[in-house]
Amino acid sequence: MHIEPGVVDGAKIVLGTATGVASVGIVAKLAVDHVKQNGNILALAGRSAAASAMVLGFFEFLPHPPVGVSEVHLILGTTLFLILGTVPTAIGLIFGLVAQSFLFSPSDIPQLGMNLTTLILPVLAMTALARRIIPADTPYTEVSYTQAAKLSAVFQGGIVAWVAFWVFYGQGFTAETLANAGAFASVYIIVVLLEPIIDLGALALAKTFRRFEKTGLPHARLYQPA
């Protein structure tokens, strides 16, 4: 989902920087609200650190073939959301992406704002959908494949939509950009089908090893109703 260097350049990069800063600002506000409501900043820090390490690992060690206008990554955002919660997942995506850009792919730094926007806003959309389709009395360990698939579709679909937006914004609507964006979107269908299976596998492990709850790493909704 990385926007390749040169896709958006010149003065147009300013929009990506602005949306990236705004997206990070939203997450910062959510983090402050989370601490005010729950009062446990250490738990949030631990979950966020775990999410950051996993995101960096997903970026660097899982296959990420270039397709069309970008690379296809298996980020497992839905899995992180279900186990760790919205705020740690969003923070993990921020720090994981920043670390990956500065440590491994300096050429991605100019596109960092666009890439942050592309990941963070779909997490927020997925969170809003989860409130609607998962009953309040349902722990996330009881989420069905259909529910997980809907969450994955919104998260991954949001990524595809933002990648397409940046491509058309930077390169215009041409036969080439349409074909490249279409190729990228078609491959992400595989991710949408695969990710819910991984989600359910991770949730099944969490349900089997209930003592995982005592570590304080998972958020409360994993094992308890809202």
CATH (domain of 128): 1.10.1760.20
Question: Does 5 reside within a domain?
Answer: no
> Distance (Å, rounded) from C-alpha 1 to C-alpha 97?
11
Rg of the chain over Cα atoms, rounded to whole angstroms, equals 17
Of the pLDDT bands very low, low, confident and very high (cuts 50, 70, 90), residue 148 is very high
Question: Does 18 reside within a domain?
Answer: yes
Question: Does 207 reside within a domain?
Answer: yes
Q: Render pLDDT for 175-216 as a digit per residue (tens, 0 to 9).
A: 988 888 888 888 888 888 888 899 999 999 988 888 887 777
Whether the pLDDT of residue 219 is over 70: the answer is yes
Give the chain's mean pLDDT. Answer: 90
Cβ contacts of 33 within 8 Å, gap of 6 or more:
none
Question: Does 181 reside within a domain?
Answer: yes
Question: Does 71 reside within a domain?
Answer: yes
Task: Decide: 25 and 85 in contact? Cβ < 8 Å.
Answer: no
pLDDT at site 1? 67
Question: Does 19 reside within a domain?
Answer: yes
Range of the domain at 104: 10-222
Question: Does 42 reside within a domain?
Answer: yes
What is the total count of domains within the chain?
1
Closest CA to 146 of 84, 196, 180: 196
Whether the pLDDT of residue 30 is over 80: the answer is yes
Question: Does 172 reside within a domain?
Answer: yes
Whether the pTM exceeds 0.75: the reply is yes
Q: How many CB atoms lie within 10 A of CB 135?
A: 10
Task: Decide: 136 and 221 in contact? Cβ < 8 Å.
Answer: no
Q: Render pLDDT for 36-68 as a digit per residue (tens, 0 to 9).
A: 988 789 999 999 999 999 999 988 888 777 776
